[in-house]
Structure 1
């Protein structure tokens, strides 16, 4: 961490007896912005882009209002873009700007995002009015601004959030999501990515279907990977020969931290596979006496059979990325 946030963290560390720095983790986006739920993509310009949700300082129960992007060509120096879109731009939602995803197709950039209305009563759930749906916004630029493309969610039932939009080599797009009564479902998207084609398809998960959120699907070679925060905490994965399954459960590749949720994405960049995720870190220097979320990154390694090696959280993260690439190129 560098810049003002790192300085404040160092001062706080001296006062509270915490470690003096977090190294390259969390990623240094500059300023004090709090980010989570990173969606990583490499677009035609060759840069790495992260699309994130944006936590408000000491926010109330995940009441979130906008989405941001960050771009880099070395994973060390990041440029901030945003907000890309806010709930004020939506006619159908006014809160819960949660985990987004993005895609590039037909010369356009797409932001798929969850948003909602109402209130979740955690003490008396029967009084809750909270609802969430998934929208689509479009831009000519990867950094926006994005405009709500259909003026409504893709559907209203079931309640849904945490979209993951995967485009296969043949151009077919698939939407995975967390939905009430509809986890482990996939929907085919129309060519313009503005609607769902046909019904939701319940995937064969090989008999292992724990509580989940935040799915992320990617392809490596001929293998498809369905990854997720299992029980909303540990990161685990399945493998398949098809984007619609059947899937074979392979296990956990990142353990939980602080009994807190973890959302992630996985992407290859300049020959390196990378895991982006968020950490819950103490931030006493901010005046908010609780852990808050910060985006971090680690290298991801595979075994010869394609299975994912366990990933440990580090303070260095991918801070040596430019040097690592140069060393491996020699």
Structure 2
């Protein structure tokens, strides 16, 4: 969940530019055929999964052969837009499910409401889910009564809830965007963190600092965090560590490398025995990725999975189903570009033979009529 003002080079800007370009005609002589300009139209590559509500930040998983998507639930709460993201004032979670991509999508009833989370104060942002030994776990960030982001956990016997929250957040948790990865050996890891409104920068010293202090552009960038989960998935086992993201020369990405470095929305998937860390670059709006040999890193930067979408934020998940890989993401096409009213979408993701990932553009140009 990013919290800056909308960026200027959005798909709407591209659309406006293309329309203006189409309206400019060159002069012709009497012997030349006069050709009408062909305007270029920009349109999304996929439709929202649901239109009854606004959804964002999708975490997709396959449980018992079926796809379940755990998004945040965008609402227009009437909160003025601020840099700290106060207008992202979500209060509950609802789960989406489908038998296959392209099939019917079911929007389920409320899975968890903030009023049923004893420790939470406001802003239930991007969640994730996991399954173990007959229990489904919903991991979610929210600001506590002191307005500090923590990560909570709730459980259910059903993948769609309702979920019952633990009375306290996970000890030692902070910031936002929890993403839980199950390795082949049965170990579970949580990745988390988000800069700016997500407060990650306030934990640089290991203790909470209410002042926002950022590294200089020529210093190593803030990194996402990782912690191994306990056997019952209710707590961290061992210390919280930085996830190192390196350039191809082996040096850490720098704060000034805005088009590459981590901002929020970490996600991990495994392909051909390699671990893929993908994440949002935040103020440059890419979904970038890096590859490593261990779930805890280090990871080496590779490139961009998803270019900027319509709306300011970019947040995703990656999952395999029936032999194909899919990218779940969101944009603001349903709300006409309102940055806090987004909709979850999905498109196929393709790994190249060398293991790299083909870049996806969520907006495509089509010839006008």
TM-score, with structure 2 as normaliser: 0.71
**Residue of structure 2 in register with 1:208 after alignment:** 253
Over aligned residue pairs, what C-alpha RMSD do you find?
2.4
**Residue of structure 1 in register with 2:171 after alignment:** 155
1:282/1:290 contact within 8 Å kept? no
**Unmatched 5+ stretches in structure 2:** 1-18, 20-40, 80-86, 194-199, 205-222, 247-251, 255-260, 365-369
**Residue of structure 2 in register with 1:322 after alignment:** none
1:144-293 correspondence to structure 2 within 5 Å: 144-148=161-165, 150-155=166-171, 159-178=174-193, 179-180=200-201, 181=203, 183-206=223-246, 207-208=252-253, 210-232=261-283, 233-258=285-310, 260-281=312-333, 283=335, 292-293=341-342
**Unmatched 5+ stretches in structure 1:** 1-16, 119-128, 316-330
1: CA distance, partners of 2:226 / 2:183: 14
Matched, 1:301 2:350: yes
**Residue of structure 1 in register with 2:63 after alignment:** 43
1:3-152 correspondence to structure 2 within 5 Å: 24-27=46-49, 29-30=50-51, 32-44=52-64, 46-57=65-76, 59-60=78-79, 61-75=87-101, 76-117=103-144, 130-148=147-165, 150-152=166-168
1:298/1:314 contact within 8 Å kept? no
Larger radius of gyration: 2
Q: Of the two structures, which has the highest relative contact order with CA contacts closer than 8 Å and spacing of 6 or more?
A: 2
2: CA distance, partners of 1:156 / 1:87: 21
Deviation at 1:184, TM superposition (A): 2.3
Number of equivalences:
280
SS of the aligned residue for 1:215 comes to strand
Which deviates the most, 180-189 or 105-114? Answer: 180-189
1:67/1:83 contact within 8 Å kept? yes
1:166/1:218 contact within 8 Å kept? yes
Q: Measured at CA, do residues 21 and 264 of structure 1 come closer, stay the same or move farther in structure 2, by a change above 3 Å?
A: closer
TM-score, with structure 1 as normaliser: 0.78
Deviation at 1:290, TM superposition (A): 6.8
Deviation at 1:280, TM superposition (A): 1.6
Deviation at 1:58, TM superposition (A): 5.8
SS of the aligned residue for 2:48 comes to coil
Q: Measured at CA, do residues 253 and 91 of structure 1 come closer, stay the same or move farther in structure 2, by a change above 3 Å?
A: same
SS of the aligned residue for 1:143 comes to coil
Deviations 1:134-161 (A, max 9, x none): 001011110111001x31111366x411
2: CA distance, partners of 1:54 / 1:259: 16
2:335/2:342 contact within 8 Å kept? no
